[in-house]
Amino acid sequence: MTVTDTPVQVGSPDPAATFDCRQDFAQELAALAREDDRVVAVCNDSVGSSNLTAFREEFPDRLVNVGIAEQDLVGVGAGLANAGLIPFVCAAAPFLTGRATEQIKADVAYSQRHVVLCGQSPGMAYGELGPTHHSIEDLSWMRAVAGLPVVVPADPQQTRAAVRWAAQLGRGSYLRIPRFKVPVVSQESDVFAPGRAVVVREGHDVTLVAVGSMVSRAVWAADALAADGISARVLNMAFVEPLDRDAVLAAARETAGIVTVEEATVSGGLGAAVASVVAQEHPCPMRILGVENAFAPTGSASFLLDHFGLTTEGVVAAAQDVVGRARS
């Protein structure tokens, strides 16, 4: 059991103070580049949208822009890794993971190349631009690739930790860098390691497992549930792969059931990963919150999160349902 030794955050995330994690991503990348001259950034006409303008100014020779060419982008990244560099390949998440899935599989994961794949602005961050620009399939697609850690930082601090962690991994990984503004939900003393969830809240009635932009909503849901006499444990499962199986099994054993929340399709992402462990090892009631078999209508990111019920209230209702089912 590894999860109980992580510190437990007290207090609620402040909804008034939110961050676009691309800034922390870019700052940490620049810091790394100062320490290690093998670190390079690779992008697809996305210097601005990946916040790499300052990086380019400081390291003009270490930013490669392959233009609008995502398959080339990942292949070039694998070649740079072959040459001994540590490429951070940055592009909008839907195009990076969708267009170049096969390059990610064959050139990065199967070839065991140390390429850090950085999916920018994931989920429904590009709300009004529509489903072509929404990255809700990336968790499922990337989870399906063998040997590729899938990391979903929830706030600036975790974003920085993820960058640092991926830089020393020695093989490829997928980092999902939020654009949708998130409040702080982690603390520096949190353990950031593969297969380790962070217990954001302790609780014994039900467990809420969330990633990325949904972690704060899960914590606010726990606050609301507490007022209702329900004690909810909240796990920030920043590593969707490898998953913290111990934390999931502890939740299945120690609480009435599990609610998972992700800004992604329910087909194959966080919820599916948790359900696979639960179903095989210790069945318990579950609700999987995400986008179900649909392309989003037109609207802003926050409109769409509401539309799909990815709200504090949505999490509360699912938790009550799980608790109710366990009691009946």
Ligand X SMILES: Cc1ncc(C[n+]2csc(CCOP(=O)(O)OP(=O)(O)O)c2C)c(N)n1
Q: Catalog residues that contact ligand X under the rule CB under 6 A.
A: 44-45, 68, 70, 92, 95, 99
Q: What's the token pair of residue 308? A: 């799909």
DSSP 8-state class, residue 212: G
User: 55 to 74, contacts with another protein by CB under 8 A?
Assistant: 65-72
Q: How far apart are CA 56 and CA 54, in angstroms?
A: 5
Minimum Å gap between C-beta 289 and another protein is 11
Q: What's the token pair of residue 122? A: 């994931």
Residue 2 touches which member of another protein, ligand X, none, C-beta under 5-8 Å by kind:
none
Minimum Å gap between C-beta 301 and another protein is 11
Q: What is the DSSP string of 235-286?
A: EE--EEES--HHHHHHHHHHSS-EEEEEEEESSSSHHHHHHHHHHHH----E
- Residues paired with residue 41 on neighbouring β-strands, in sequence order: 63, 88
Which residues fall within 8 angstroms of residue 79, CB to CB, at 6 or more apart?
A: none
- Asked if residue 129 binds another protein (CB under 8 A), the reply is yes
Minimum Å gap between C-beta 125 and another protein is 13
- Residues paired with residue 119 on neighbouring β-strands, in sequence order: 91, 176
Binding mask 212-231 for another protein (x = CB under 8 A): --------------------
Minimum Å gap between C-beta 283 and another protein is 16
Binding mask 26-45 for another protein (x = CB under 8 A): -------------------x
Residue 7 touches which member of ligand X, another protein, none, C-beta under 5-8 Å by kind:
none
Q: What's the token pair of residue 74? A: 């990942």
- Asked if residue 133 binds another protein (CB under 8 A), the reply is yes
Residue 224 touches which member of ligand X, another protein, none, C-beta under 5-8 Å by kind:
none
- Residues paired with residue 177 on neighbouring β-strands, in sequence order: 120
- Is 53 or 112 the residue whose CB approaches another protein more closely? 53
Which residues fall within 8 angstroms of residue 107, CB to CB, at 6 or more apart?
A: 74, 75, 77, 78, 113, 115
Binding mask 303-322 for another protein (x = CB under 8 A): x---xx--------------
Binding mask 72-111 for another protein (x = CB under 8 A): x---------------------xx--xx------------
- Is 19 or 303 the residue whose CB approaches another protein more closely? 303
Residue 175 touches which member of ligand X, another protein, none, C-beta under 5-8 Å by kind:
none
Minimum Å gap between C-beta 300 and another protein is 7
Long-range pairs for 293-301: beta carbons < 8 A, 24 or more residues apart = 293/265, 293/266, 293/267, 295/131, 296/124, 296/127, 296/130, 296/131, 296/134, 298/128, 298/130, 299/127, 299/128, 300/127, 300/128, 301/123, 301/124, 301/125, 301/126, 301/127, 301/180
DSSP, collapsed to helix, strand or coil, labels residue 109 as helix
Question: For binding to another protein (CB under 8 A), which residues are involved?
Answer: 45-49, 65-72, 94-95, 98-99, 126, 128-133, 266, 292-300, 303, 307-308
